[in-house]
Amino acid sequence: AQKITQTQPGMFVQEKEAVTLDCTYDTSDQSYGLFWYKQPSSGEMIFLIYQGSYDEQNATEGRYSLNFQKARKSANLVISASQLGDSAMYFCAMREAQGAGGTSYGKLTFGQGTILTVHP
């Protein structure tokens, strides 16, 4: 089963309007982190926002907010007041802790992404 599911291959929004990008996840861990990244056509992955599984309040970063519904295992990204520069691919990702040989690191699993197009 996929750990991260983004059901919208593409989304369109009018400039200055809000848009919600969907993300659902699957994990049996109690502690995990959820991330959203933006990937413009240049290829670089740009970190947008983070939500921890124990955070009671939804994360916000400027025009980005994360609608975290733990019971439903969803972590939707809301972009308010869309701008033309928001046109890009958006990825939802999850980190679950894994340790090996005394070291610890968080493996990041990505969804398939949603292409957002902002129209003038």
Partner 1 sequence: ETGVTQTPRHLVMGMTNKKSLKCEQHLGHNAMYWYKQSAKKPLELMFVYSLEERVENNSVPSRFSPECPNSSHLFLHLHTLQPEDSALYLCASSQEEQVYLNEQFFGPGTRLTVL
Classify strands 46-52 and 60-61 as parallel, antiparallel or unpaired.
unpaired
Helices and strands in the chain: count of H runs, count of E runs: 0, 12
Considering the complex, what minimum distance in angstroms separates the CB of residue 95 from partner 1? 6
Q: Which of 4, 13, 19, 79 binds partner 1 (CB under 8 A)?
A: 4
Binding of partner 1 at residue 42 (CB under 8 A)? yes
Binding of partner 1 at residue 100 (CB under 8 A)? yes
Residue numbers at the binding site for partner 1 (CB under 8 A): 4, 31-33, 35, 37, 42-47, 50, 52-53, 91, 95, 97-98, 100-101, 103-113
